A and B are shown apart, each in its own frame.
Chain A
Amino acid sequence: MDGLREGMAEAIRLILGFDPEILKIIGLTLLVTLSSTFFASILGIPLGSWIGFTSFRAKRPIVRSLNALMGLPPVVAGLVVYLLLTRKGPLGTYGLLFTVPAMILAQILIVTPIVASLTISGIHMKVKAVKETCMGLGLSKVRTIQLLLYECRYPMLSAIAAGFGRAIAEVGAIMMVGGNIQYKTRVLTTAIVLETGKGNYGKALALGIVLLLIAFIVNWGIGLLQERGNHERRRTSS
């Protein structure tokens, strides 16, 4: 209990003291997770929308594969990216190993199936009704897709939130390809592992609190966007 109490006191001191190392770690964490979520969304949402909207023979195995990839072990993703970027690997000449882009790349690999798969689920709930309604109205395919994407905007936000949640909590892959280098590739999760190992519980706890705060704030923001519809409903019916 004493250790925890001391740790909490240390955490408050570090957070309120704007420790430069902690600020750097927070900045890097935001850069890596937001970038990887952004790029994974750019890839995953169109991919999921396309798979959800169209019917083709291999659709079911592809959807199942994407669902399975949602549980892709981060160390496996890290290993794949490591092998790609290592000096002898196909992308070795770019010298990206142990850099921020390598960490982003590893997280894109982890987050994209999550975004794509949840987008497919969202589209799946609406696609039949939207397609039939649009066909009944004689609307074009392009207009049908526009309306379907509009109708699925909240499930897509949920998919992005889930992807972000996975990215910010991830440690295995970015540790492997980032190397946890101080001031260069150290992010909140890898720093927590390191500081815990060194017995610096206060610092680890401080970083943990910050990690929780960021996750809460971002998810809260997305949740607010999703609930906006409900607020409008309450306002219009009062």
Chain B
Amino acid sequence: MNVVVHQAKKTILSKTILDVSDLVLPDHAIIMVIGPNGAGKSTFLRTISGIDKESLRDIEIDHKKIIQSDILNHMVQQTYLFDLSVEENLRLGGKGVEKLDEKVEELLTKLDLLTLRNEKCRNLSGGEAQKVAFARIILSEKPLILLDEPTSAMDVKATKRCEELIVELNRRLGITFIMTTHNPSQALRIGHHILIMDQGKIVEAGTPTHIQNEALDPAAQSYLENWRVAHA
């Protein structure tokens, strides 16, 4: 899945929220987007998927400017589950999926949701709800999946399971993931390509090794330094 961002721009009251141009993302990769709060990570994802209607947008996905719903799925930051059971919510992401029952069972098992399958989603904890939303998004196995902080409410075990699923789907089906996170460790752990954002711009981009050892931009360096100090 080839993603080229010719231009993605958003300003609110003359303040630049997002300003990305001429960005070519690697094919079939796990692309991690990191940066401080308000850096524009979510807006970047929302602009790519077209959920954000106010952004100026010139993006090509697989050499097409019109993004169709059968190309990508986007898990937005605010988890919203419908007032249905866990399984019913999960199945909403399974439109047109072959062997749906089998895949639903597999995801419920892998994400420890089997015992909750008939539970109404309003009874779930924040972490459980996020697992359901994550499963619902990846169920369709679309070529491009955007994940906005998909594991922010999960415990360590659930986060690890989700990371394993992302890596597995990327390896097995070549699905391109673009994922934001507040955890640089997670980005370095599973990302093939990392983008560091600051004040709406991509200030550093490259492989995990490059980001860790050769990041030159002062904002990127400062962000990574703060993270290193916090985790020392």
Contact = CB atoms under 8 A, between A and B. Distances in A.
Contacts of B140: 137-138
A136 B81 CA distance: 12
B136 A232 contact: no
B51 A135 contact: yes
A136 B140 CA distance: 11
A150 B82 contact: yes
Interface in B119-163: 119-120, 122-123, 136-137, 140, 142, 146
Interface residues on A, range: 10 to 19
Of the listed residues A132, A135, A137, A151, the one surrounded by the most CB atoms of chain B closer than 10 A to its CB is A137
B83 A136 contact: no
Interface residues of B, number: 26
Interface string A203-238: 000000000000000000000000001001100110
Given A137-B92, A236-B119, A236-B120, A129 B83 contact: no
A127 to B, nearest CB: 11
A138 B69 contact: yes
Enumerate the 8 nearest inter-chain pairs by beta-carbon distance, A residue then B residue, closest first. A138-B69, A136-B74, A129-B80, A133-B80, A132-B76, A135-B51, A137-B93, A136-B76
Contacts of A83: none
A147 B93 CA distance: 13
B95 interface: yes
B74 A130 contact: no
Contacts of A147: 82, 92
A133 B140 CA distance: 14
B62 interface: no
A181 interface: no
Instruction: Name the residue among A129, A132, A147 with the largest chain B CB count within 10 angstroms.
Output: A132
Contacts of A132: 51, 76, 78, 80
A136 B137 contact: yes
Contacts of A233: 120, 122-123
